[in-house]
Amino acid sequence: MKPLAGLIKVYIATVIALAAITTTALAEKISVLYVDGQNNHNWAAMTPYMKVQMEKTGLFKVDVITSPPRAPRPPKNLNESQQKQAAKAAEQIRKIFKTKWDEFRPPFSKYDVIVSNYNGEDWPKPVQQSFEKYMKNGGRFIVVHAADNSFPNWLEYNKMIGLGGWGGRTEKNGPYVYYNDQGEIVRNSQPGRGGSHGPQHAFKVIVRKSEHPITKGMPTEWLHAQDELYDSLRGPAENMDILATAYSNKSKRHEPMMITIKYGKGLIFHTPMGHENGKSIQCVGFITTLNRSAEWLATGKVTQALPKNFPTKTEVSLAK
Ligand SMILES: [Zn+2]
């Protein structure tokens, strides 16, 4: 009997191992939808790069939806008859763009994670409403760099991103939130504009929550490749957790660089990093942050090991 019992044990162990392999192989990839189409940054080059970096992990299936471009404005200094022509043309353009915008209906609810690389005109009301519904019902959302400049007057969006910049944001939009030199979080409601940055440079990211799945194993301080260091963002800043900061020479504050936000049943990851279609988004630290945040949002955990070439306290590291 003994040898048979042993065989059965081996058999069961093999079945379990095979089942595990099959489950992994068949496990559905995390579905991700990028939204772009308008941005004061080179979105047309940035989105494909970030998409490829995500797909390389083998964890994600990434789609992209691109909004209509901004409608052209009529030229200035026209004489009277030119003005009439321009008005006619403007009316035609308005109709064409209305049709395009009516067709722009991102199927948010089909995706595990939405990523915004969009900074432009307000989305049509139905799109705003469907996005709010998606998020309130448990949607997952990543905000990269200038996507936090978008929609200054859309309150629910600003609640999702926690903090935003530019677009006329002021104290009316909420406090500045940052760390002081003592390592305390400050919520500062003093009057002033939201959103600013100095010249691009490489800067140190300081991990404040090292036990979070996104930051786990990262060096406490790591050098992010050349980027725009956003400072003085402000917004509703509700249900917000700051995972990492960077010291701004301009604001003299430790500005949030990785933020998680709860919104209804939804969950958001916001990073103001990622300005340039170049070093900023080639930074292995940025790519790791992006990929880990997407996995964490979708599954609640991170299985991606920290890359061996992750930046150190003194050395930036660029992906090839
Ligand atoms: Zn920028």
Q: What is the pLDDT of residue 199?
A: 97
Q: Do the beta carbons of residue 53 and residue 293 sit within 8 Å? A: no
Residues of the chain with pLDDT > 70: what percent?
Answer: 96
Closest C-alpha among 48, 117, 63 to residue 271 = 117
pLDDT confidence bin for 11, thresholds 50/70/90: confident
Q: What is the pLDDT of residue 188?
A: 98
Q: Is the dihedral of CA 200, 204, 40, 195 positive or negative?
A: negative
Q: Do the beta carbons of residue 30 and residue 113 sit within 8 Å? A: yes
Quick one: average pLDDT of 151-162? Answer: 98
Please check whether residue 154 lies inside any domain of the structure. yes
Distance (Å) from CA 280 to ligand 1 centroid: 10
| Backbone angles phi and psi of 195, in degrees to 5 | 100, 125
Q: What is the pLDDT of residue 74?
A: 84
The whole-angstrom separation of Cα 312 and Cα 167 is 35
Quick one: average pLDDT of 228-237? Answer: 98
Please check whether residue 273 lies inside any domain of the structure. yes
Distance (Å) from CA 145 to ligand 1 centroid: 7
Please check whether residue 128 lies inside any domain of the structure. yes
The whole-angstrom separation of Cα 292 and Cα 302 is 6
State how many domains the chain has. Answer: 1
Query: How far is residue 104 from each of residues 35, 94, 151, 308, measured CA to CA in Å?
Result: 11, 15, 17, 41
Q: Which range of residues forms the domain containing residue 204?
A: 27-67+104-299
Complete DSSP assignment for 214-279 = TTTTS-SEEEEEEE--EE--BS---SEEEEEEEEETTTTEEEEEEEEEEETTEEEEEE----STTH
Which 3 state secondary structure label does DSSP give 179? strand
CATH number of the domain where residue 35 is located: 3.40.50.880
Three-state SS sequence of 41-85: CCHHHHHHHHHHHHHCCCCEEEEEEECCCCCCCCCCCCCHHHHHH
Distance (Å) from CA 41 to ligand 1 centroid: 6
For the cut 80, the answer to whether the pLDDT of residue 18 exceeds it is: no
pLDDT digits (tens, 9 = 90+) for 186-208: 999 999 999 999 999 999 999 99
Residue type, 97: F
Distance (Å) from CA 278 to ligand 1 centroid: 12
Distance (Å) from CA 177 to ligand 1 centroid: 20
The whole-angstrom separation of Cα 227 and Cα 207 is 17
Distance (Å) from CA 21 to ligand 1 centroid: 43
The token pair that represents 220 in the structure block:
């406490």
pLDDT digits (tens, 9 = 90+) for 92-108: 999 999 999 999 999 99
pLDDT confidence bin for 12, thresholds 50/70/90: confident
Please check whether residue 93 lies inside any domain of the structure. no
Please check whether residue 314 lies inside any domain of the structure. no
HSE-up of residue 243 (Cα within 13 Å, Cβ side): 21
Distance (Å) from CA 146 to ligand 1 centroid: 6
Q: Is the dihedral of CA 211, 217, 223, 228 positive or negative?
A: negative
Task: Give the N- to C-terminal CA distance of the chain in Å, as an integer.
Answer: 59
For the cut 80, the answer to whether the pLDDT of residue 39 exceeds it is: yes
Distance (Å) from CA 221 to ligand 1 centroid: 22
Residues of the chain with pLDDT > 90: what percent?
Answer: 89
Q: What is the pLDDT of residue 156?
A: 98
pLDDT digits (tens, 9 = 90+) for 257-280: 999 999 999 999 999 999 988 999
